Structure 1
Amino acid sequence: MLTQDRHSTILNLLKKQSSVTLAELTTLLNTSESTIRRDLTALDKAGKLRKVYGGATSLDFYTSTEKDIQTKHDLQITEKNLIAKKAASLIEEHDLVYLDAGTTTELIVNYLTQYNATYVTNGISHANKLSERGFKSIIIGGQLKKSTGAVIGTVAIENLKPYNFTKGFFGTNGISTQAGFSTPDPVEACVKKTAMKHCQKAFVVADSTKFDQITPITFADLENATIITDILKDKRYLDFTNILEVL
């Protein structure tokens, strides 16, 4: 099979199932693994797919599932700490700060130094850490989502509306040029959306694995927040928003 035909077959397969493995492609195309690796490298460089360990994914990989909070804590921990440290450095004296629930936003608390700022959060663990460290903190009331430790629901949304935050830091499950910032839970998305609307400056803290990912509900367009990440692999995102890299 010609190279062009193999490339076409790979891309058509990705349109149907979002991800493929080397084993699948070597069987389907009756071609050696080394040839498939070269094909995936070429297509990745051409910006037509994302090459990953053991295969490839479409540029905007769609997922509707969400990992539990303990699993998230253990992922990309070095990158998350660097991102959190950078985020904390942006907080100034007398800021009114919103900290969204999430594992990376929780790590921000470890690096806070501004005791004259006020911190508002919908994260249970965030509130506990803020209190333990002696920061002035407020927790939003509402329904508790056990899997993420987030306070959500209509009560939480109403409680957010009076605030005028100077800065807000948000987590996200997906970042995409097509779907913006997204999360699997529509109720949690509404809380994020409301809080971000009440921020003078909004920041999304996300490691590089969150890019080119789409989950069911968009809570903000890319232009609505500055992204703080470890490393930006796809420079096209710079056309949509400001991005701060920590590596």
Structure 2
Amino acid sequence: MLNAERHKIIMDLLKRKGAVKLKDLIEISDSSDSTIRRDLAELEDLGLLKRVHGGAILSQARTIEMSMLEKSVRNVHLKKDIAKLAASTVVDGDCIYLDAGSTTFEIIECLVGRDITVVTNGLMHVEELVNLDLNAYILGGEMKAKTKAIIGAIALDNIMNYRFDKAFIGANGIHMLDGYTTPDIEEALLKRKAMELSDETFIVADSSKLHHSHFAKMFDLEEAVLITNAMNEEEKSGIMKKTNVMEVPN
């Protein structure tokens, strides 16, 4: 098989799945381990993919961010399952922080009837919290239209008025070396401050975020518990060395 044909196979698979395993590429292309590794290196040099342990992921621009609407329609069932598991950690009397994000938004309906206090920077979250009659506070600050989040210096100053039993925070990237990341530095700073003000911090994110790294670091893997969907053994072997993981049952 020609180089160009193998490259097309690799990229077509990546565009469909977002990540591919080395062993699968070897089998599909009927090529040797060394040949596929060389192909991946060449495609990485072109900026088309990023090599990770055991395979490759589709390359992403570090500063590109999906809108809240785009996020809300992706992996909906997974997000709901992750949200239920996250909500199960909340006990009556807790004061919790809900970060702006599509997965944290799904947590809200799981909290109905609970004796808790919620603080959020999510504009969509506020309406849902009011509709469901939950005791809640919203941070002041700059409104970011794309992600429906409140950010900036005023928000950072405002959040200092609170202390949290638990913080539930979204992440765009989960990386062994880079930790938890997001495209926007101002959102990253607010997420980091929420973590610092909380007794326990939980990252709620599906496993499609694994091995990705974005522009702005939030904090290290060791500083939060990751709540996600079930991972394969290869994914677990890396992430679980650095953080505690709660997995949604299959």
Partner of 1:23: none
Deviations 1:191-232 (A, max 9, x none): 111111101000000011111111101111001100000122
Shift of 1:114: 5.0
Contact 2:112/2:132, CA 8 A, preserved across alignment: no
**Does residue 124 of structure 1 match 2:119?**
no
Partner of 2:67: 68
Partner in structure 2 of residue 48 of structure 1: 54
Equivalent pair of 2:144/2:150 in contact (CA under 8 Å)? yes
Residue 15 (1) aligns with residue 14 (2): no
Match of residue 156 from structure 1 = 155
Structure 2 gaps of 5+ residues are: 2-30
Asked if the contact 1:93/1:114 (under 8 Å) is kept, the reply is no
TM-score norm. by structure 2 comes to 0.81
Please give the alpha-carbon distance, in whole angstroms, between the structure 2 residues aligned to 1:5 and 1:173: 32
Structure 2 match to 1:244: 246
What SS is found at the alignment partner of 1:127?
A: helix
1:202 partnered with 2:182: no
- Asked if structure 1 preserves the Cα contact closer than 8 Å seen for 2:84 and 2:110, the reply is yes
The aligned residue for residue 77 of structure 2 is 78
Alignment of 1:187-226 (within 5 A): 187-226=186-225
SS at the partner of 1:193? helix
Contact 2:180 2:220 (C-alpha < 8 Å) held by counterparts: yes
Flag the 1:8–1:230 CA change in 2: closer, same or farther, 3 A. closer
Q: What amino acid is the match of 2:172? A: N
Query: Which residue of structure 2 lines up, in the alignment, with residue 111 of structure 1?
Result: 110
Alignment match, 1:138: 137
> 2:175 is matched with which residue?
176
Q: Distance in 1 between matches of 2:134 and 2:33?
A: 60
Asked if the contact 1:98–1:165 (Cα under 8 Å) also holds between the matched residues in 2, the reply is: yes
Contact 2:179-2:221 within 8 A present in 1 as well: yes
TM-score (norm. length: structure 1): 0.82
Q: CA deviation at 1:62?
A: 5.7
Distance of aligned partners of 1:89 and 1:18 in 2 relative to their CA distance in 1, 3 Å threshold: farther
Q: Which runs of 5+ in 1 are unaligned?
A: 21-42, 51-55
Instruction: Tell me the amino acid that sits aligned with residue 103 of structure 1.
Output: S
TM-aligned CA deviation for residue 5 of structure 1: 4.0
For 2:231 and 2:175, how far apart are their aligned partners in 1? Answer: 13
- Aligned equivalents of 2:79 and 2:46: distance in 1? 29
Is 1:6 matched up with 2:35?
yes
